[in-house]
Amino acid sequence: MKEGGVSQQFSIKDLEHFTGVKSHTIRAWEQRYNLLAPKRTLTNIRYYGGDDLKKLLNVSYLMHHGMKISKIAQLGDSALLSKVTDVQIEEGGLSALFSRLKLSMLSYDEVEFHKIVEEHSSEFGLEQTVLQLFLPFLSQIGVLWLTNSICPAQEHFISHLMRQVLNSAVDCTSDEGIADAPVAVLYLPEREVHDISLLFIHFLCRKNGIRSVFLGASVPFSDLIAVAEQFPDARFVSYCTTYPASSEAQSYVDLITSEFEGLDNNFLLAGRVFEGCGSNDRVTIVSSGQELAKVLFSS
């Protein structure tokens, strides 16, 4: 994959990794529906561009919402974008509050962002602000990117402000009396950088009297074993958005199971990437952040 001044190039395996659509399925869609048109390098190696990736992500998004590939393939590029936007509206993503938040992001308006957060959290509390505002809006950002409505700088801007709010909330929680409390090690696997959900769990842990050790994003697997030596009874907690890829998630669960054999640590993993993976004595898989919190704070 190339970035910077050179146009992005993706292999079919890259597309599988980013979208969760199997390589053989992508090829079948190319042959049956002419869904994508890969190019070739001077050495005759097939590659895909950024527009191909966005299109396949849009296709995957619509299929996840119940639309058949045969119908999606009939849509032109503009009709595909319009359909994604229609589905987003049907989900209630364009409420007045979300519209204000989107505007603050597009105009890089930090003052307006904090005004929105203050209004909502003063009435409903920070927890509900994160659950009702931050997390749904982050999901909406993915759709906005797919429909070319925002650029990466705008996503980074709003994500940074959300992190500021959560870090400030963590700093305001008391850490008195948690030295002997149960330990939760919060981390994201290598290449996973979307850490706002994990920061929210960090805040909830502090609020609920759990000693949370926040390792953050893209933690090498070998480091987890080293941390386990220092916290032999700790539970490792992760909420993943894009990594590991859906096709590699079960292998990641199997790696945990084998490498932590004989240790007392267990893992609590959440996120769509783990759908279809099975829990075992070492690893618990949950489908949502709410379910993760329920398991973590009831045990």
* Position 104 in a domain: yes
Does residue 87 form part of some domain? no
State whether 18 and 122 are in the same domain.
no
Domain with 39, as residue range(s), is 12-75
- Provide the pLDDT for residue 177: 57
At 83-92, the pLDDT tens digits run: 887 776 666 5
Residue 85 lies in a domain: no
> In this structure, what CATH number is given to the domain that contains residue 127?
1.10.1240.10
Residue 53 located in a structural domain: yes
The per-residue pLDDT for 6 is: 42
pLDDT band at 93 (very low <50, low <70, confident <90, very high): very low
pLDDT digits (tens, 9 = 90+) for 17-67: 777 789 999 999 999 999 998 999 888 888 998 788 888 888 988 898 889
Q: Tell me, what CATH number does 19's domain have?
A: 1.10.1660.10
pLDDT at 299 over 80: no
| 74 vs 288, more confident | 74
Tell whether 279 and 214 lie within a shared domain: yes
- Does 188 share its domain with 267? yes
State the pLDDT at residue 189.
93
Count of domains for the chain = 3
pLDDT at residue 58, as a whole number: 84
* Residues with Cβ within 8 Å of residue 181, at least 6 apart in sequence: 209, 210, 211
Confirm if 65 and 87 have CB atoms less than 8 A apart: yes
Same-domain pairing of 198 and 288: yes
Does 199 lie in the same domain as 167?
no
Domain containing residue 241: CATH number:
3.40.50.280
Q: Is residue 103 included in any domain, yes or no?
A: yes
Dihedral (CA of 212, 216, 222, 223) sign: negative
- 32's tokens: 């049956």
| Structural domain ending residue among the three candidates 149, 172, 195 | 172
Q: Is residue 224 part of a domain?
A: yes
Let me know whether 227 and 263 are in one domain.
yes
At residue 113 the predicted structure's pLDDT band, cuts being 50, 70 and 90, is: very high
Tell me, yes or no, whether 81 lies in a domain: no
pLDDT tens digits, residue range 144-171? 666 566 678 888 899 999 999 999 999 8
Same domain, 164 and 225: no
Could you give the percent of the chain with pLDDT greater than 90?
36
Mean pLDDT of 4-17: 70
Question: Average pLDDT, whole number, for the chain?
Answer: 84
Same domain? 144 vs 249: no
| 148 part of a folded domain | yes
